[in-house]
């Protein structure tokens, strides 16, 4: 007995599900749908975006592999901007609130989403976290996604911009290996760029070429957040986004044409 | 492994449609999964076997159509086939391209077993 939708599939009528015409009165009909599988997530994401827009908050979804330096970049960013902008962070991790503790130590509000086994944040999880944030008093919200170059790319959270970190300790062919993620980026950040001088294998030109091969002219900038900090380009990009009219930037652009909803 | 989340969303939608049409059972579910959707069809098929248990789609079969990738060049206007990590124009080599096909992640149709008094073709 189905507990979800009220239709009943039992041993007595299961063969109907396989389309056996002789199994009893009734007919098999095909319903044409053409609906995006993530429509429920996308609706929740749009709802989040409306919340952000109503409060004049710029929301940035930060994605990368684990260990690429998302939290460290955020710590340095908060130190640089906290006197001029009201910032908050939503932290997504499978376990622990270690990153939230680090962000709060910078004097800004942070909410932890612990996903358990889930490898990505979705719009519903973010919406729940928004209830714990003083949106009305914010200018800038960072959503630090779960460290993962695969799954987060498929879920719109309601953000205005996607930023993907490509760490110099990773291969410079990451955009070719993870095309869906890098295609979603509005900005690619080469993090830990201070290590380039000792990492002979990483060629920024090759990383750029791999990104261009994805049909994207996404800007690429370099950052360093610890030794010899280098944040100018990143902060300039952020300031530009904060002052620009916030064009709604859905994660997955509807390049395939309109979706018919039933 | 976000394929399980996708399957749950799929089954929620199928359940909604089945209820809407007073269906007694769900037969074949057809979906489209483009190579640029970020979803792996084989993993999705395996996740479906788990996600469908105890739902109205418990006996349903999942058909996955995988379209190719087609891009249109914004510079020269030519449409051409492409690979997931090489979405360049096949004609001029330009990178300012728009993906026409390949992003799909959608439910195309559902076969439902409906009582006789229901109209036979529902859209």
Whether A34 is in a domain gets the answer no
Q: Which residues of A touch B101 (CB under 8 A)?
A: 256
Contacts of B122 in chain A (CB under 8 A): 29, 31
Q: Measured between CA atoms, how close is B11 to chain A, in angstroms?
A: 9
A19 pLDDT exceeds 70?
no
Which candidate from A7, A30, A37 shows the least CB-CB separation from B18?
Answer: A7
Of A37, A154, A256, the CB nearest to B107: A37
Domain enclosing residue A55, as ranges: 39-243
Query: Could you report the per-residue pLDDT of A49-97, keeping only the tens digit for each?
Result: 999 999 999 999 999 999 999 999 999 999 999 999 999 999 999 999 9
CB contact, 8 Å: A205 with chain B?
no
Query: Residue A34 pLDDT more than 60?
Result: yes
Residue in A180, A172, A113, A156 with CA at minimum distance from that of residue A249: A156
Q: Model pTM? A: 0.85
Residue at A60 is within a domain:
yes
Contacts of A6 in chain B (CB under 8 A): 19, 56
Domains in chain B: boundaries? 3-70+102-112
Asked if pLDDT for residue A245 goes beyond 50, the answer is yes
At B23-81, the pLDDT tens digits run 999 999 999 999 999 999 999 999 999 999 999 999 999 999 999 999 999 999 999 99
pLDDT given at position B1: 66
| Interface contact B112-A216, CB threshold 8 A | no
- What pLDDT, in 10s, does the model give residues A230-244? 999 999 999 999 998
pLDDT-based confidence at A9, cuts 50/70/90? Answer: very low
Check whether A175 has a pLDDT greater than 60.
yes
- Answer yes or no: do A19 and B12 touch at CB < 8 A: no
Give A180's contacts in chain B (Cβ within 8 Å): 36-38, 84
Q: How many domains does chain A divide into? A: 1
Return the H-helix or E-strand segment holding B117.
none
Distance from CA of A40 to the nearest CA of B (A): 7
> Is position A192 within any domain?
yes
Which residue in the set A3, A17, A256 is minimally distant from B104, CB to CB? Answer: A256
**pLDDT tops 60 at residue A43:** yes
CATH of domain B3-70+102-112: 3.30.2320.50
In this complex, the residue of A4, A13, A41 whose CB is nearest that of residue B25 is A13
Q: Pick left, alpha or beta for residue A215 (phi over 0 → left; psi -120 to 50 → alpha; otherwise beta).
A: left
A220 touches chain B (CB under 8 A): no
Return the pLDDT at B2.
Answer: 87
Q: Distance (Å) from the C-alpha of residue B74 to the closest C-alpha of chain A?
A: 10
Residue of A nearest to B86 (CA): A213
Residue A4 has pLDDT above 70, yes or no: no
Task: Identify whether A255 is part of a domain.
Answer: no
Mutation target among A3, A19, A22, A30 for the B interface, most CBs of B within 10 A: A30
A250 found inside a domain? no
CATH number, domain of A155, equals 3.40.50.300
Which chain B residues are within 8 Å of A216, Cβ to Cβ?
Answer: 95
Name B90's Cβ contacts closer than 8 Å, sequence gap at least 6: B78, B80, B81, B82
Token reading at A205:
């030109």
What confidence score (pLDDT) does residue A253 get?
42
A260 band by pLDDT with thresholds 50, 70 and 90:
very low
């Amino acid at each position: 007995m189905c507990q979800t939708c009220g239709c009943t599939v039992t041993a007595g009528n299961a063969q109907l599900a396989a389309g056996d015409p002789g199994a009893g009165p009734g007919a098999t009909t095909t319903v044409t749908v053409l609906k995006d599988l993530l429509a429920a997530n996308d609706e929740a994401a749009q709802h989040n975006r409306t919340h952000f827009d109503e409060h004049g908050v710029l929301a940035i979804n930060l994605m990368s592999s684990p260990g690429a330096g998302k939290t460290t970049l955020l710590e340095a960013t908060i130190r640089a901007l906290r006197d001029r902008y009201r910032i908050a962070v939503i932290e997504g991790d499978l376990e622990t609130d270690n990153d939230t503790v680090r962000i709060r130590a910078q004097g800004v509000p942070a909410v932890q989403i612990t996903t358990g086994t889930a490898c990505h944040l979705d719009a519903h999880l973010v919406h729940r976290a928004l209830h714990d944030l003083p949106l009305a008093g914010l200018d800038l919200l960072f959503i630090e996604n779960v460290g993962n170059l695969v799954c987060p790319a498929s879920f719109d959270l309601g953000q205005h911009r996607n930023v993907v970190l490509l760490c110099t300790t990773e291969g410079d062919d990451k955009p070719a290996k993870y095309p869906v993620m890098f295609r979603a980026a509005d900005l690619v950040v080469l993090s830990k760029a201070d290590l380039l001088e000792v990492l002979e294998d990483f060629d920024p030109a090759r990383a750029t070429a791999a990104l261009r091969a994805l049909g994207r002219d996404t800007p690429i900038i370099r950052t360093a957040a610890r030794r010899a900090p280098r944040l100018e380009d990143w902060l300039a990009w952020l300031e530009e986004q904060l002052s620009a009219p916030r064009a709604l930037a859905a994660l997955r652009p509807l390049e395939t044409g309109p979706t018919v909803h039933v | 492994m976000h394929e399980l989340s996708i399957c749950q969303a799929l089954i929620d939608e199928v359940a909604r449609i089945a209820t809407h049409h007073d269906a007694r059972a769900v037969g074949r579910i057809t979906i489209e999964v483009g190579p640029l959707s970020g979803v792996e069809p084989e993993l999705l098929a395996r996740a479906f076997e788990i996600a469908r248990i105890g739902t109205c789609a418990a006996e349903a079969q999942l058909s996955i159509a995988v379209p190719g990738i087609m891009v249109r060049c914004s510079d020269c206007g030519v449409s051409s086939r492409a690979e997931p990590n090489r979405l360049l124009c096949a004609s001029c080599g330009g990178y300012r391209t728009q993906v026409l096909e390949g992003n799909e992640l959608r439910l195309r149709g559902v076969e439902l077993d409906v009582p006789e008094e229901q109209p036979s073709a529902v859209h």
